């Protein structure tokens, strides 16, 4: 409750901070922007104490870890000079002398927070000089400022650390039989609050199976963790299809950003992952049979969607297959539109975002 929060904030003000201690937290554990920044800082071999807050302790990860909602976690939070997070963890307890680095987990396309009609949760914000939120461009800084109700002077254009991975190429052992396929398509839809994992109403399993084999395509599906069961029902026992399940990714220390450099075509709906994928300048297909309904219910912070989505917008399964064929045949299909949006969305197009965040917060090396 509020009383407990006030007490903890008071205690946090009194307890001295360790200047060399950085506390990391991400959802899922050890992933996304915080993990990439953690790896970068670790590679510098400076004398930082790098600690993680996690749901489950992992023995196969060589880092001091504290379980969420325990006294150990609270104590490390109170002692840490720096907090690095993907979801705004514990910002309400921050003391003035703690430096808070909110790396978030993607740039906004969908309306969220203060731009949503009736938001379930409002994202955290702060106007103190020890607070950093990151963005990928000026437009994204403005979009974040609106969504977070945030003073834009505390939003910094650095690029997202996780996108540094996109420039490392495709690890040869990542996908079994990678070289045997002609085309790799990654399907990464956004989470839908009604829990239905979405595919086309006229989806024809047999036809899709035949299509994938005929064109020698590997179709990789990355559902939201809460929608895995739905996705398994739709795609189970199909050949040329791999499902990326959260547990498998966690066990192998992977996330979807490891798979993007291996991907020839990205298929998505309203997931902002395509902003990141633009850095690779490869085709994107938007599978949006419910566009009008989604626009009305959830809404977009960037409109018109038709402009911001640089690829064919597909409303049925037949068209989806046609657009896959076009995207394979012509690498320049929609390339002009992609370049336009990439320039608006990604100010930096390189693998140095972690370095920029580090220098912004901790000064140059």
* pLDDT tens, position by position, 94-127: 999 999 999 999 999 999 999 988 888 888 899 9
Q: Which residue has the tokens 């409109």?
A: 303
The count of structural domains within the chain is: 2
Do residues 83 and 222 both lie within one domain? no
Whether 173 has a pLDDT exceeding 80, the answer reads yes
How large is the average pLDDT for residues 150-162? Answer: 97
Nearest to 97 by CA among 154, 17, 179: 17
Beta bridge partners of 24: 52, 84
Q: Same domain, yes or no, for 98 and 125?
A: yes
Are residues 279 and 141 part of one domain? no
pLDDT digits (tens, 9 = 90+) for 267-289: 999 999 999 999 999 999 999 99
Predicted local confidence at residue 229, as pLDDT: 86
The pLDDT, as a whole number, for residue 143 is: 97
CATH of the domain at 145: 3.40.50.11820
Average pLDDT over residues 349-362: 98
CA distance 216 to 178: 11
C-alpha 348/C-alpha 134 separation (Å) is 13
Q: Is the pLDDT of residue 198 over 70?
A: no
**What is the reported pLDDT for 364?**
64
Binning pLDDT at 50, 70 and 90, where does residue 196 land? low
Q: Do residues 210 and 258 share a domain?
A: yes
Q: Same domain for 113 and 155?
A: yes
Q: Are both 319 and 218 inside the same structural domain?
A: yes
For position 18, what pLDDT does the model report?
A: 97
132 and 236 assigned to the same domain:
no
Give the Cα-Cα-Cα angle 84, 90, 94 (nearest 5 degrees): 85
Domain that holds residue 247: 168-345
Q: What is the pLDDT of residue 233?
A: 86
Same domain, 358 and 332: no
The two structure tokens encoding residue 78? 């109170």
Write down the residue that tokens 């989505």 correspond to. Answer: 309
341 shares its domain with 356: no
Per-residue H/E/C for the chain:
CHHHHHHHHHHHHHCCCEEEEEEEECCCCCCHHHHHHHHHHHHCCCCCEEEEEECCCCCCCCCCEEECCCHHHHHHHHHEEEEEECCCCCHHHCCCCCEEEECCCCCCCECCHHHCCCCCCCCCCCCCCCEEEEECCHHHHHHHHHHHCCCHHHEEECCCHHHHHHHHCCCCCCCCCHHHCCEEEEECCCCCCCCCCCCCCCCCHHHHHHHHHHCCEEEEECCCHHHHHHHHHHHCCCCCEEECCHHHHHHCCCCHHHHHHHCCEEEECCCCHHHHHHHHCCCEEEECCCHHHHHHHCCECCCCHHHHCCCCEECCHHHHHHHHHHHHHCCCCCHHHHHHHHHHHCCCCCCCHHHHHHHHHHCCC
Residue range 34-87, pLDDT digits in tens = 999 999 999 999 999 999 999 999 999 989 999 999 999 999 999 999 999 999
Same domain, 193 and 335: yes
- So what's the pLDDT on residue 187? 95
Among the listed residues 42, 43, 50, the one whose alpha carbon sits nearest the alpha carbon of residue 20: 50
- 183 and 318 co-located in one domain: yes
Q: Which CATH number does the domain housing residue 175 bear?
A: 3.40.50.12580
228-251: pLDDT as tens digits: 888 888 888 899 999 999 999 989
Residues 6+ apart with CB under 8 A from 100: 82, 83, 85, 91, 94, 126, 130, 131, 132
Question: Residues 335, 356: one domain?
Answer: no
Q: What is the arithmetic mean of pLDDT over 150-173?
A: 95
> Residue 120's pLDDT is what?
83
Quick one: pLDDT at residue 359? 97
Structure tokens, 115: 């731009």
């Amino acid at each position: 409750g509020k009383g407990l929060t006030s007490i903890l904030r008071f205690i946090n003000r009194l307890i001295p901070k360790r200047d060399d201690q950085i506390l990391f937290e991400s959802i899922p554990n050890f992933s996304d922007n915080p993990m990439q920044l953690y790896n970068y800082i670790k590679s510098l071999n400076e004398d930082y104490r790098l600690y993680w807050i996690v749901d489950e302790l992992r023995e196969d990860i060589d880092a001091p870890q504290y379980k969420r909602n325990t006294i150990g976690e609270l104590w490390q939070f109170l002692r840490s000079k720096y907090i690095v997070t993907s979801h705004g963890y514990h910002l309400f307890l921050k003391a003035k002398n703690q430096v808070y680095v909110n790396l978030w987990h993607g740039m906004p396309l969908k309306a969220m927070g203060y731009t949503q009609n009736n938001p379930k949760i409002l994202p955290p914000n702060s106007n103190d000089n020890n607070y950093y939120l990151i963005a990928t461009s000026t437009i994204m800084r403005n979009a974040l400022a609106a969504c977070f109700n945030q003073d834009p002077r505390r939003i910094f254009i650095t690029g997202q650390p996780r996108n540094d991975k996109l420039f490392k190429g495709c690890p040869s052992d990542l996908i079994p039989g990678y070289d045997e396929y002609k085309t790799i398509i990654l399907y990464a839809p956004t989470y839908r609050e009604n829990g239905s994992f979405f595919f086309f109403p006229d989806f024809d399993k047999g036809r899709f199976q035949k299509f994938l084999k005929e064109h020698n395509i590997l179709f990789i599906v990355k559902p939201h963790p809460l929608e895995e069961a739905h996705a398994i029902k739709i795609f189970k026992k199909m050949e040329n299809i791999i499902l990326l399940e959260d547990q498998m990714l966690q066990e192998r220390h992977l996330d979807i950003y490891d798979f993007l450099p291996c991907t020839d075509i990205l298929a998505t709906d309203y997931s902002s992952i395509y902003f990141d994928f633009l850095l690779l300048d490869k085709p994107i297909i938007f599978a949006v049979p419910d566009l009008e309904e989604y626009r009305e219910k959830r809404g977009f912070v960037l409109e018109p969607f038709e402009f911001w989505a640089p690829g064919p917008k597909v409303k049925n399964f037949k068209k989806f297959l046609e657009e896959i064929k076009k995207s394979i045949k012509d690498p320049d299909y929609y390339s002009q539109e992609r370049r336009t949006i990439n320039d608006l969305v990604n100010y930096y197009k390189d693998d140095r975002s972690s370095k920029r965040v580090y220098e912004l917060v901790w000064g140059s090396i």
